[in-house]
Amino acid sequence: MNPVKHVRPSEGLLSVRYEIRGRLARRALELERLGHEVISLNIGNPYAFGFRTPETMRLAMIENLRHSEGYVHQKGIFPAREAVVMQQQERGVRGISVEEVFIGNGVSELIDLCLRALLNAGDEVLVPSPDYPLWTAAVNLNSGRAVHYDCRPENGHLPDPARIEAAIGPRTRAIVIVNPNNPTGAVYPRETLAAIARIAEKHRLVVLSDEIYDQILYDGATFVPMATLVHDTLCCTMSGLSKVYRACGYRVGWAAFSGDTKNAVEYLAALELLSSLRLCSNVAGQWAVQTALGGYQSIRELTRPGGRLHESRRAIIEGVARSKYLRLAAPMGALYAFVEVREEAVPGFDDQEFALDLLENKHVLIAPGVSFNFARRNFFRITNLPEAEVLTTVFERIEELLDARAACSAPASLAR
């Protein structure tokens, strides 16, 4: 009899992590199966909190279901790609046509395809820290090396262009921008983006701009499309229906290329080859793109004062302000807050240990800061998708747990 051989996973996965849906999320599911009500704040999934996709988008899909049963062009259907072009042109992006637009099964798939078409073994990509962890994972999975540039909380989680340029090496191929940012909620000012654009052009780096939260803005924050600033190197703008249009399950995203596309003909052909290998992306969802981008932008009702997202964000800011232990660079965009636990207030704080304790004892699921390739161990991310009242309760539970931890860590003389 042949000896039993275990099926081992690929060694290429050793450097890949996605803790947002990892061990803590699995434990939360176990607790729910035991009958506990868990407040899950680890994922930005609008549907889970009662948000709906605009009805006009649903109708557009229904009316075109008969056209959705066969394969379509590997880059996507023409009306969807044309709608992306029109949006980009309205925003001031020059030199873009439907030939430079690729529709994918969400931005997640396009991140993988764009990096796979670009990278050779050992090539480097500059990625923000903290980051949306799919970016680091996708670089590593495609034989590259993610080099992280710090977006420090002391600077409002904004990138420092000088530090970015200092991180560029001979194998650097691209730089990733996530604006508005996940996980921090930072919205980058024009001056910062323009400086990064000049650096990318100087070093001929491909700019990969993740703008999935482009219209989710608060308190007068202004979004500046990176493609309006990048001209002399290739710029890829990525966005989709998941967040602004609350349609995560439709799995529709797009990558629009602008800037120096003339010197990227071979790269774009390689990307089309990869798109062809997966035949096409979800067809039914693509019919919602034109209606979404060309119709009424209902997201503005949610983000303005009095709107649900604005008020939930306010509940987070106020919850942090009331705390004896927490600090926050107020998020100006996106659907998250990246909360800091002051180390001097809770010595020895560990984000993963705290997240597990909060889940087990307070039934609140958060994402530890280390999940986002961040070196500091005293941060956590939550989403502002729940109602404001729920978030107020969450911060009361967090404060109770931090009170207990601070008491345990206090010197004996103070504890008495």
Report the chain's mean pLDDT, rounded to a whole number: 94
What average pLDDT does the segment 348-373 reach?
95
pTM of the model: 0.93
Q: Give Cα 319 distance to the centre of its chain.
A: 24
Average pLDDT (115-131) is 97
Give pLDDT tens digits for 258-268.
999 999 999 99
pLDDT at site 13: 78
Q: What is the mean pLDDT of residues 15-35?
A: 86
pLDDT of 409 reads 67
Residues β-bridged to residue 103: 254
pLDDT at residue 165 tops 70: yes
**346 Cβ neighbours under 8 A, 6+ residues apart:** 325, 378, 402, 405, 406, 409
Whole-number pLDDT of residue 414 = 42
| Mean pLDDT on 340-345 | 94
**Domain 13-42+304-415: top CATH class:** alpha beta
Reading the block at residue 370, the tokens are: 């280390």
Could you read off the pLDDT of 1-12 as tens digits, one per residue? 677 888 888 887
Return the pLDDT at 413: 41
Question: Identical fold at 13-42+304-415 and 55-294?
Answer: no
Query: Sign of the CA dihedral 279, 285, 288, 292?
Result: negative
Q: What is the DSSP letter of 245?
A: T
In the chain, pLDDT over 70 holds for what percent of residues? 98
DSSP strands (E only) in 229-366 = 234-240, 253-259, 326-327, 336-341, 364-365
**pLDDT for residue 416:** 39
Q: Which of 9-18, 31-40, 171-180 has the lowest mean pLDDT?
A: 9-18
Sign for the CA dihedral angle at 406, 408, 414, 416 comes to positive
Instruction: Give 118-176 as a DSSP string.
Output: H--TT-EEEEEES--HHHHHHHHHTT-EEEEEE--GGGTT---HHHHHHT--TTEEEEE
Residue 406: which pLDDT band, with cuts at 50, 70 and 90? confident
pLDDT for 187 beyond 90: yes
Q: Is the pLDDT at 66 greater than 80, yes or no?
A: yes
CA 379, CA 351: separation in Å to the nearest integer? 6
Query: What is the enclosing helix (H) or strand (E) of 273?
Result: helix 265-277
Query: What is the fold of 55-294?
Result: Aspartate Aminotransferase; domain 2 (3.40.640)
323 contacts: CB under 8 Å, gap ≥ 6: 395, 398, 399, 402
Identify which of 165, 168, 164 has the alpha carbon closest to the alpha carbon of residue 123: 168
For residue 1, the model assigns a pLDDT of 65
Q: Domains of the chain: which residue ranges?
A: 13-42+304-415, 55-294
Q: Is the pLDDT of residue 166 over 60?
A: yes
pLDDT in tens, 292-326: 999 999 999 999 999 999 999 999 999 999 999 99
User: What pLDDT score was predicted for residue 410?
Assistant: 62
| Mean pLDDT to the nearest integer, 220-227 | 97
Tokens representing residue 312 in the block: 């939930």
Give the integer Cα–Cα distance in Å for 195 and 192.
5
Q: How far apart are CA 196 and CA 130, in angstroms?
A: 17
**Confidence class for position 14, pLDDT limits 50, 70, 90:** confident
Q: Is pLDDT at 415 greater than 50 in this prediction?
A: no
The pLDDT of residue 19 is above 90: no
Residue 413 CB neighbour total at 10 angstroms: 6
Q: How far apart are CA 60 and CA 371, in angstroms?
A: 37
Taking a C-beta distance cutoff of 8 angstroms, is the pair 305, 274 a contact? Answer: no
